Amino acid sequence: MELYAERGFDQTTVAEIAERAGLTARTFFRHYADKRDVLFGGTAPLTAAVTGAVAAAPAGARPFAVVGLAVEAAAELIQQAPEQVVLRQAIIDAHPELRERELVKLADLATALAVALTDRGLDPWPARLAAEAGLAAFRVAFARWIADSAAGPLTLAVRNSFEDLTATVTPA
């Protein structure tokens, strides 16, 4: 990621990435499909955190509360390296093809979350709705946090975002 920051994403080659990592280009391609994947390699731990939080949620918890716990679990992982996350997001934001890849990864995360909710007994369509709404709240929280990560941890931004969404859709 540092190479992307130093040279620019478009100007950085796979050979340079591999050399910096002490790998051959061939070894690089055993781990990544292309240089874009370097930015998206942390998806599996996020998915595991989200689905694990759903499985561990109290049995009687309301579905959207479970989604909140799951998204907070993901936020907990993400906020562990704030400088790297801010740098990664700046690189992604500067390139439409990376923004597109990010949206695909978030859609995959929403699908995993919906499946986990379905495994808890929620019907598939409400599970999908809760998962998508939760990821929308997460995206807003993440954007706020990226804009001002000194304002507090990402988990707090996520909680605030969920509270804002709930207040917006709950009748007074």
Closest to 46 measured CA to CA, from 100, 143, 113, 131: 113
pLDDT at residue 55 tops 80: yes
In order of their start, the domains of the chain are: 1-38 (1.10.10.60), 42-169 (1.10.357.10)
What's the angle, vertex CA 64, arms to CA 155 and CA 159, rounded to 5?
20
* pLDDT attached to residue 6: 84
**CA end-to-end span of the chain:** 46
CB count within 10 Å of CB 4 equals 23
pLDDT bucket at 31, cuts 50 / 70 / 90: confident
pLDDT in tens, 151-164: 899 999 999 999 99
pLDDT bucket at 35, cuts 50 / 70 / 90: confident
Average pLDDT, the chain: 92
The whole-angstrom separation of Cα 58 and Cα 9 is 43
pLDDT in tens, 56-70: 999 999 999 999 999
pLDDT at residue 78 tops 90: yes
The whole-angstrom separation of Cα 107 and Cα 77 is 18
Contacts of 39 (CB under 8 A, 6+ apart): 1, 4, 88, 91, 92, 98, 101
